[in-house]
């Protein structure tokens, strides 16, 4: 299951909470130092498990949010690149040699290709920017393109970082619950005596 604790982890956290409640409600006399240490560990591990579970959910939300935003931005950026490419191809070849080839947009673009094509266009626009401005482009259209590429890259990063956070939460939760199980099993053995 994506983004949430699995059933086994939920059961382990619930078990750890029950142990914590039991220890808090029952006074053990004479005091057993090892029980005190283990009870503190269980309490700490419950907090860690809740944090890791929260990281899973938050990371998955960032992943999904970045994915949706990135898809919308990719379409908008691709439209802009096609518009720039169409304008460049309309420039007279004798006055602008090689421009047709520099401003080609493949029929299908993957996300990284979209970024790469945008950056290539930015590099190629400089010497012929005036020709675009003469054809109804705003004077800062290249700056706007650069900003659009940067925002698209940021959405890609958000997606990747969200996925990383979700995975770290998941793996961290497994480690935390293993530690909690060891502490609870030892507590169980001590308290059963």
What are the mean pLDDT values of the chain's consecutive 10-residue runs (193 residues total)?
Answer: 63 80 76 84 85 82 77 92 95 92 90 94 95 95 96 83 81 84 85 73
Residue 4: what pLDDT? Answer: 56
Residue 30: what pLDDT? Answer: 75
Residue 1: what pLDDT? Answer: 42
pTM of full prediction above 0.95: no
Which has the closest alpha carbon to 70: 2, 153, 146? Answer: 153
Specify the DSSP element, H or E, that contains 155. Answer: helix 141-192
Residues 187, 188, 190: CA angle, nearest 5 degrees: 65
Which has the closest alpha carbon to 169: 54, 52, 10? Answer: 52
* Contacting residues for 77 by C-beta, under 8 A, at least 6 apart: 114, 118, 148, 149, 152
Residue 2: what pLDDT? Answer: 47
* Contacting residues for 47 by C-beta, under 8 A, at least 6 apart: none
Q: What letters, b where the CB count within 10 A reaches 16 and e where it falls short, cover 4-41?
A: ebeeebeebbebbeebbeebeeeeeeeeeeeeeebbeb
Residue 3: what pLDDT? Answer: 46
**Whole-number Å distance between alpha carbons of 118 and 116:** 5
**What count of other Cβ atoms lies within 10 Å of the Cβ of residue 99?**
20
CB distance 48 to 81 below 8 Å? no
């Amino acid at each position: 299951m994506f983004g949430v604790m699995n059933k086994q982890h939920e059961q382990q956290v619930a078990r750890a909470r029950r142990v914590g409640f039991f220890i808090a409600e029952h006074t053990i006399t004479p005091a057993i130092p090892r029980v005190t240490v283990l009870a503190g560990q269980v309490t700490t591990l419950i907090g860690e498990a809740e944090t890791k579970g929260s990281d899973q959910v938050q990371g998955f939300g960032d992943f999904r949010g970045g994915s949706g935003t990135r898809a919308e931005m990719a379409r908008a950026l691709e439209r802009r690149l096609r518009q720039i490419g169409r304008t460049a191809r309309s420039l007279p070849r004798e006055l602008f040699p090689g421009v047709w080839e520099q401003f080609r947009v493949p029929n299908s673009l993957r996300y990284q290709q979209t970024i790469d094509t945008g950056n290539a266009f930015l590099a190629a626009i400089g010497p012929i920017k005036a020709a675009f401005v003469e054809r109804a482009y705003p004077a800062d259209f290249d700056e706007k393109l650069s900003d659009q590429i940067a925002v698209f890259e940021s959405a890609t990063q958000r997606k990747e970082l969200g996925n990383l956070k979700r995975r770290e939460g998941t793996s961290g939760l497994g480690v935390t619950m293993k530690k909690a199980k060891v502490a609870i099993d030892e507590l169980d053995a001590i308290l059963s005596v």
